[in-house]
Amino acid sequence: MKFKTTPYHFDLLRDSDRLSAFFEAIKQYGGSRNVAYDLGCGSGVLSYFLKDYFSEIIAVEAEKSTFNCACENLSDFKNIHVVNSNVLDYEFDSDADLIVCEMLDTALIDEEEIPVLNHAKKYLKEDGKIIPQGIINSAELVNMEREYIHWDENAKYEEHSLPVFYSAFNFLDDIDPNFECDIEFNVKKDGIVNGLKLTTYTILDDDIICGPTPMLNPPLLIPLEETSVKSNDFISVKIKYIMGNGIESIDTSIL
Would you give per-residue pLDDT tens digits along the chain (255 residues)?
788 887 777 787 888 999 999 999 999 887 778 999 999 999 999 999 999 999 999 999 999 999 999 999 999 999 999 999 999 999 898 899 999 999 999 999 999 999 999 999 999 999 999 999 999 999 999 999 999 999 988 889 999 999 999 999 999 999 999 999 999 999 999 999 999 999 999 999 999 999 999 889 999 999 999 999 999 999 999 999 999 999 999 999 999
134-254 topology per CATH: Hnrnp arginine n-methyltransferase1 (2.70.160)
* Rounded Cα–Cα distance for residues 237 and 161 (Å): 13
Partners of 137 in the β-ladder: 167, 200
Which has the closest alpha carbon to 156: 191, 195, 189?
195
Q: Is the pTM of this model over 0.75?
A: yes
3-state secondary structure of 122: helix
Q: How many CB atoms lie within 10 A of CB 147?
A: 10
What integer pLDDT is reported at residue 49 of this predicted model? 97
7-102 topology per CATH: Rossmann fold (3.40.50)
What integer pLDDT is reported at residue 105 of this predicted model? 94
129 and 29 in contact (C-beta within 8 Å)? yes
Annotated domain spans of the chain: 7-102, 134-254
* Rounded Cα–Cα distance for residues 125 and 142 (Å): 43
